[in-house]
Amino acid sequence: MTKLDPEVIGATREIKDLKKEILEEKQKKNSSRKRISKKEKKKVKRMTFLFVLSIFLLITLIPLYMMALNKSILVSFPVVMTLLVLFLFLLALSGIYLFFKMDFKKKKVWTRKGKVIAFLLLGYFLLIGFGTYLLYGNHAVKDFIINKALASMKYQPIASFFYDDKTINEVASTRMLEEGNNTIYEDIVSFDDLKLNQPSYANQYEEEILSNPNHDPYKILKIEGVVENTTYHYQGYMAVVYDPSKVKLATSSGMGMDDAAYGEIIPVMAEREKAIIAMNAGGFYDPDWRSNGGIPHGPVIKDGVLLTNFRKYPANGGIIGFNYDNQLVLKNITGEEAVLEGIRDAVDWGPYLIINGINQIKKQTSTYALARTAIGQRKDGIVLMLVIDGLQSHSKGCTFYEMAKIMEQYGAYNAANLDGGTSASLYEKGQFLNNPFNGERRTIRRLPNAWIVVE
């Protein structure tokens, strides 16, 4: 046996130690590698779960997104969009991680478990997609859900879970038309044009007289009627004068009591007196029916002066005049007495129709219709000047009874008949309102005087 060199022995030991160290180090390295692989596997598992979960959530988000688009009361659009971004982020994160960590060279990337999950996800996607299509892509299903919801009381909000108000209203309207309920609107009543009367006048005549919205100094009323107990139609005009102080007597410049006297036609007297209305007044002496209207019958008073006083006529008449209080005075007195009593303007004629509110002609005693003229005054001072045409096709004329009745209807407190026939004339601002007629033709007669209305 050879004895080993102690140096060799030492070297061998060192080599052994070195080998041991190397081995230990290798073992250490191996064990650390094994630990790292387990950690990564866990991480990959987690990421895979996150990836699958993200896909699941994104699929779930599809109907929610559609609901939000349709303004569902359950889902708000910003929330859905936030969730969408979050899920996409998770999907991208997990997907990228898996892409770099997956070993695609390995044969078994798609394990059996992986295939099952993928199949389930696909099934879920198809289910959700089909459901969403039915809800929002199919009219029949949409109408069915809305109609069924609206047919109930408690479950009506279900329609609002999926659809906006506009869609619901559209479906409801279609249903309404199908049911024919739109015709119900014909039942609506309206009284918008209802005018309930508010009486302000005693009767129609009062209204005609008193309605004067523009406060005109006078108004003209058309008067029509039929003579009682006959078929005679009459027509004429009434001047309603609101201020009696404006009513005066105009006389012809040739009025007198002798042969030299002459009358004037109404337009001449009206022009001279600047009258807006003129109406014939008293009668005149006319023995041959051809006189010139110069000599008036009975007293004529103007501005408190007795101008003429020739043969009083008719017997059933008297003074017809205004005093200085502008009241119509009807009194069977002489001219002198009238002046003394304060009569301002007057003629003498008749008969009196109404005295102090009492109608003097209560019955139709004669149906002798003629053109007529009358003057009256209401209690409120309004003067009524009435002329009815006669002996013409449009107006046969009327009787004293009709004249009194008309005056009474319009509220006259005092009224008297004036000269009628051919003399009957009502003249307003340059033209005759009626048609003076002598039985054969239109005739503008000369007259001794006229009642006028001045401005």
Minimum CB distance to other proteins, residue 154 (Å): 5
Task: Indicate the residue among 197 and 393 with the shorter CB distance to other proteins.
Answer: 197
Task: Indicate the residue among 156 and 364 with the shorter CB distance to other proteins.
Answer: 156
Minimum CB distance to other proteins, residue 201 (Å): 6
Task: Indicate the residue among 162 and 349 with the shorter CB distance to other proteins.
Answer: 162
CA distance 49 to 335: 134
Minimum CB distance to other proteins, residue 193 (Å): 12
Residues 6+ apart with CB under 8 A from 375: 279, 281, 320, 328, 383, 384, 385, 386, 415, 416, 418, 451
Minimum CB distance to other proteins, residue 180 (Å): 9
Task: Indicate the residue among 82 and 152 with the shorter CB distance to other proteins.
Answer: 152
Greatest Cα-to-Cα distance within the chain, rounded to the nearest angstrom: 210
Examine residue 267 and say whether the peptide bond preceding it is cis (omega within 30 degrees of 0).
Answer: no
Q: What is the 3-state secondary structure (H, E, C) of 294-324?
A: CCEEEEEEECCEEEEEECCCCCCCEEEEEEC
Minimum CB distance to other proteins, residue 195 (Å): 8
Minimum CB distance to other proteins, residue 186 (Å): 9
Task: Indicate the residue among 202 and 340 with the shorter CB distance to other proteins.
Answer: 202
Q: In what order do the strands lie in the sheet with 275-280?
A: 247-251, 449-454, 275-280, 426-428, 431-432
In the structure encoding, which two tokens stand for residue 354, read together? 């109404």
CA distance 171 to 323: 86
Task: Indicate the residue among 205 and 242 with the shorter CB distance to other proteins.
Answer: 205
CA distance 53 to 121: 10
Minimum CB distance to other proteins, residue 235 (Å): 24
Binding residues for other proteins (CB under 8 A): 148, 150-156, 172-173, 175-176, 179, 181-182, 184-185, 187-191, 194, 196-204, 206-207
Do residues 146 and 172 touch, judged by C-beta distance below 8 A?
yes
Minimum CB distance to other proteins, residue 94 (Å): 28
Minimum CB distance to other proteins, residue 435 (Å): 32
Minimum CB distance to other proteins, residue 156 (Å): 5
In the structure encoding, which two tokens stand for residue 157, read together? 């909000």
Task: Indicate the residue among 178 and 258 with the shorter CB distance to other proteins.
Answer: 178
Q: Single out the residue of 300, 214, 213, 303 nearest to residue 261, CA to CA.
A: 300
Minimum CB distance to other proteins, residue 245 (Å): 27
Torsion angle of alpha carbons 122, 124, 126, 131, nearest 10°? Answer: -170
Task: Indicate the residue among 181 and 229 with the shorter CB distance to other proteins.
Answer: 181
CA distance 260 to 258: 5
Residues 6+ apart with CB under 8 A from 349: 281, 282, 283, 297, 298, 314, 317, 320, 416, 417, 418, 419
Identify the residue whose tokens are 């205004």. Answer: 322
In the chain, DSSP finds a helix count (H) and a strand count (E) of 10, 19
Task: Indicate the residue among 2 and 198 with the shorter CB distance to other proteins.
Answer: 198
Q: What is the 3-state secondary structure (H, E, C) of 111-122?
A: CHHHHHHHHHHH
Task: Indicate the residue among 18 and 127 with the shorter CB distance to other proteins.
Answer: 127
Q: Report the 10 Å Cβ neighbour count for 14.
A: 10
Q: Report the 10 Å Cβ neighbour count for 156.
A: 14
Task: Indicate the residue among 89 and 144 with the shorter CB distance to other proteins.
Answer: 144
